[in-house]
Structure 1
Amino acid sequence: MAELADLEDPKIRAVNERHGDDHGVNLGKLRALAKRLKTQQELAGRLWETGDTAARLLALLICRPKAFERDELDGMIREASSPKVHDWLVNYVVKKSKHAEELRGAWSADPDPVVASAGWALTAERVVKKPDGLDLAGLLDAIEAGMKEAPHRLQWAMNTCLAQIGIEHAEHRDRAIGIGERLRVLEDYPTSPGCTSPYAPVWINEIVRRKQSV
């Protein structure tokens, strides 16, 4: 914790706080610290228990993802108030867990929109990597009915799932683009030069174009 405190940078904290993340540690330096510590599951647990955002990010880098039980992961996602901690928990830990599919189903229907966003993030991953058994038409129905009014983090995850369905599954592409055009979610999202807009119709068409040009 002392070493993390030494890495604190007020300027980084100011930038992060604009995005809802309450820490001021350069992530490159945090990763270097994690590389030095290597995997330490017990230490990861103690760091997580501090509740400190930087400590929790470090915990997620040095933990053993497959060591967590289902209920542990469920409790952690409900404690992950920081967007960065939430994203790293889903992407670095839950996706590698044997409980990922069970949690995907449970979280997607959770009344807490932050928890539900984790379920939709896992669904978007499965749309790309393991779509067999997914009801893609049903997912599009749910997105069409709920994405427009969803809170930001849940809306973002549902939009990602919409785009991935359109990109990866040609038979659903026209409908996915049509849903995006009707709902207009993230249509005006500021996008840096050279980056692809998160607005689903643009995102879908651009990635499909790139794939077809290879």
Structure 2
Amino acid sequence: MVGIVNYGAGNIFSLTAALDRVGISYGMINSVDDFDRYERIIIPGVGHAGAAMEKLKESGLAEPICRLTKPVLGICVGMQLLTAHSEEGDADLLEIVPLRTLHFDKRVGEKVPHMGWNAISPKKGCPLFQDIPDNSYFYFVHSYYIESDENYTSAFCHYGIDFSAALQKDNFFGVQFHPEKSGEVGERVLLNFSTI
């Protein structure tokens, strides 16, 4: 069963609808004690990373997330929260993955935000992308990106520059795209996570 971190900064309806479609049972994590009820954890997120981090701290859930040893999946801003720092709000984040979240502006000659379908290139062996072909298309909506790093990037995407479409460090996973809005391949990512 999957627990969804409910801290006021997630697009929970779209995520729960996708989990319903693929038959993954879930519940909400509203307090520290709720973490023990679930085998896997999802951190959703939309909007501003700095504001999302403040909400996560206010909810009292930030430090317990850092101590988790069960599989954790951050989606969009939820993935950015796993990094050390974001230029959005000049905010220190959870510092689970020692990378930075940067603004596309002035770094790419493309329209910002990066919005729409784009192909990703997963690294071999990442369990999130089992049975997903290379160059599959996923749905993105973001103005900030996580720098790519061979040690932690589990899938790359190109939008003016290469950036991290997905991350992995130990039991922590993240995807910059929205699997809940990415059709069958997105649903496959959620199903893969449910069996890690």
Q: TM-score, normalised by structure 2?
A: 0.31
Write 1 or 2 for the structure with the bigger share of strand: 2
The higher-RCO structure (CA 8 Å, 6+ apart) is: 2
Write 1 or 2 for the structure with the bigger share of helix: 1
Q: TM-score, normalised by structure 1?
A: 0.29
